[in-house]
Every structure is written in C-alpha cells, then in structure tokens.
Amino acid sequence: MENTRVRHLEPLSCRRAPTPSALLPSRWGAALMLLAAAYAQPAHGQAPRSPTAGSAASFDDLARQAAAARTADRIDEALRLYRQGVQARPTWDEGWWYLATLYYDKDRWAEGRDAFRRFLDLKPDTGPGWVFRGLCEYQLKEYAPALEHLTKGVGLGLAGNADLLRVASFHVSALQIRAGAFELAAHGLELVSRNEPESPRLAEAIGLMLLRVPTLPGEAPPELKDALQAAGHAGYLQLDKRPGEAQAAFESLVSRFPTVPYAHYAYGVFLLGQDGDAALEQFAREIAVQPGSVYAYIEVAFERLRRGEAGKALAPAETSVTLAPGLFAAHNALGRALVETGAMERGLQELEAAARLAPDSPEMFFALARAYAKAGRKEDADKARATFAELDARRRAKREGLSPE
C-alpha cells in the first residue's frame, strides 16, 4: 500500500524528517501558520468560552505542558496530555489537531481518523484536516470515505501547501483508478508528474491508469509489473510534456508487450492529434489483441468524425454500442455519425441516450446542442447550450481546486 507518511504539522515546518518517498513532502510551508492562527479563534458559530479563573489557569498549564512535550519529541507524554486537554475541554480545536497528527505520526490510523473527525466538527472548512482524515482512512482500507474526504479537502484548499496537494492528488487518483475511473485519475497524476521526479510508485500508478487495471499501487498482479512500469514511464513523460521522449517510450512499450491489453490503445491515444493514421493503426492492433476493446472502437469512430468521414465512423460506433450499451461515449459517437450521415431522428435518439447516461458531461450537451441546431430545433438547442455552459463552468471551478494555490 502507498506510504502516506506526512509527519505531524507545526506552524512553520516538520521537526523530523518524513519517511522517504518520492511522493511525500520533506517540509511544510509557512502558509500553515494560517491554521495555527485559526486555532486561537473560537470554532465557527461558537461563542467564546468563559471559564472560571482557576479552571482557565489549570487548562492553560496543561496546554503548555502538552506543547512542551510535543516540541521536545516526547510523543507519548504529549499524547497523554493532549488527551487530557480535549477531555477537559472538548471544544479545544488546537488540541484535537495536534492529537490527531500525533496519532498519525505513530501510525495509529483509527485513532487519528477519529481525532481528525472531532477537529473537523469544530473547524469544518480546514482542507488539510479533511486530507489527513482521508489519508488515515486510506490506510484503514476505508476507500469510499477516503476518496470523499481527500477530494473535499483539496476542494477547500490546502493553505498554499503544494506538497500536501501532491500527496492528496496522488491518493485521489489511486482511488479513482481502483474504482475504474481511469480518465478522472489523469488530472491528479499529471499534477504530480509535473512536480515530482519519476519513481517506481508513481510510474506504477500511471501504468495502472493507462493499462486500465482497477487496483491500487502495490496490489497489481506480479505478472504485470514490468508492463506497468514501462507504460508508467511512457505516461510519465507524456504527462510531464516531453512528447519526443514519450513517443520513444510508447514504441518500446508496444514492442516489448505487444499482447498486453490496452498497451496499443494507450499509444494510440497518445498519437491522436499528431499522427492520426498511426493512431488508427494502433487501435487496429488493440482490437486484434482484444476484439471486445470498446474504447478502441470509440476512438476510431471519433477520429473518423474528426476527419469528416462520418460514413467510416458508423461501423465502429455501432460496434461500440453493441459491446457497451451503457457507455455514454459509445452512444455519443454513434449519434454524431448518424446525424452527420443524415439519419437525424435516430442520431438524436442516440445523443439523448448519451446525455441521460452522462448528465454531468459538458461535451455531451455540446454535441447535443449542435445536433438540435442542425435539426432546426432551436429551443432544444438553446437549452442544451445552457446546460453545457453550466456544466463546463462547474468543471472549471472543480479543476481550479486541484491546482496549486
């Protein structure tokens, strides 16, 4: 399982070095002072506490002892004191934060998860808290909540900490790959690839995405190890915007592993936009390896449509719908091919079916708007355009949350 070591946070930096990993930060940015400053404020919607003078003095002394133990690396003592502190004052958000990160530092994932949950009850808009909760859940193999909470943390923002953003993005992508959402995983892996040197773990994750293997890094079948590393190396170069080196790596991939599913497909997708004929050749080879490779048929159909060869797009599009009737991209390709060849009524039916299958896809409603306009259905075209604009704006906003602040 991917090592998610991120040592407990201090306002300025980590005091001890993290466990070595190419995907993990070695130092926390000064922007995390914002979190420390926030701790001094009452939780949102909560009135300031009004303890008695004696209890306040006693609690303040306990808090000072806990901080002193933590900064002196007396971790067991610090844990004991922070536990006493949050028991005495359950609304002590700073105490919950340090208790949670100390548990995390000790690999006590379940206790860390629960302490981060208590912290987030008090500070629900703290992005790093959601990320660390998600990392604890990842270690506990609670994958659905891990994906939800990591994604939420990134969306809320990470106080300008690019290191933590890369760690979160990697784990979001790993979980998306495990769920079979390979296309969604590409964005997070691109962010990591453009900011981290290549490593075996990162290459494996990219290889899992490109070869469409729905499992986590470290859990792939051993017989795929070499192919995943080769695919991941090519994909890393592609994501890092080094097309010449990437093309040579993809050539090596399909030469060494000509019968591994999706190797030719990955290379074909890379070639799209620069050498369409070569891309079509790779898709044909993929279909020879996997006659049921629906994505290869879809890409052939879209490439033919791009060239204005709608007639040649019909057969692969029809095949893709037969192979995967629940896949919106297949209906999209067939609908567009039918509309372009004059079969307007059936083409619109296919595009409408695609929109029902992918109600959050801006591209789908863009295609539907064009088809409605071509059919003279102005009101429907206007509605589809409005839906496209709304979905596109939503996607852009979400992607901005996955960019360094």
**pLDDT at position 395, please?**
85
Residue 403 clears pLDDT 80, i.e. is over it? no
List pLDDT tens digits, range 89-127.
Answer: 999 999 999 999 999 999 999 999 999 999 999 999 999
Bigger pLDDT: 399 vs 211: 211
* Predicted TM-score of the model (pTM): 0.82
Residues 6+ apart with CB under 8 A from 320: 294, 297, 298, 301, 327, 329, 330, 333, 334
**pLDDT at position 290, please?**
96
Residues 6+ apart with CB under 8 A from 350: 321, 331, 332, 334, 335, 338
List pLDDT tens digits, range 236-268.
Answer: 999 999 999 999 999 999 999 999 999 999 999
Closest CA to 14 of 3, 30, 2: 30
Quick one: which H or E segment has residue 193?
helix 182-193
Averaged over 308-316, what is the pLDDT? 97
- Alpha-carbon distance of 256 to 284, in angstroms, equals 18
Q: How confident is the model at residue 208 (pLDDT cuts 50, 70, 90)?
A: very high
SS3 70: helix
Is the separation of the CB atoms in 232 and 249 below 8 Å?
no
Lowest-confidence range among 37-41, 120-124, 158-162, 284-288? 37-41
What number of other Cβ atoms are within 10 A of residue 272's Cβ?
A: 17
List pLDDT tens digits, range 15-73.
Answer: 222 222 334 333 233 333 334 434 334 444 343 444 455 566 798 999 999 999 999 99
Averaged over 280-291, what is the pLDDT? 98
Domains of the chain, first to last: 7-16+28-38+60-160 (1.25.40.10), 293-301+309-405 (1.25.40.10)
**pLDDT at position 372, please?**
95
Averaged over 277-292, what is the pLDDT? 97
Angle at 35 between CA 30 and CA 38, to 5 degrees: 135
Mutual orientation of helices 263-271 and 225-239 as an angle, nearest 10°?
Answer: 10
Closest CA to 206 of 220, 196, 217: 217
- Alpha-carbon distance of 266 to 81, in angstroms, equals 54
Residue 384 clears pLDDT 90, i.e. is over it? yes
**pLDDT at position 99, please?**
96
Assigned token pair, 385: 């355009």
Residue 292 clears pLDDT 80, i.e. is over it? yes
**What is the 8-class DSSP label of residue 21?**
-
Is the separation of the CB atoms in 392 and 362 below 8 Å?
yes
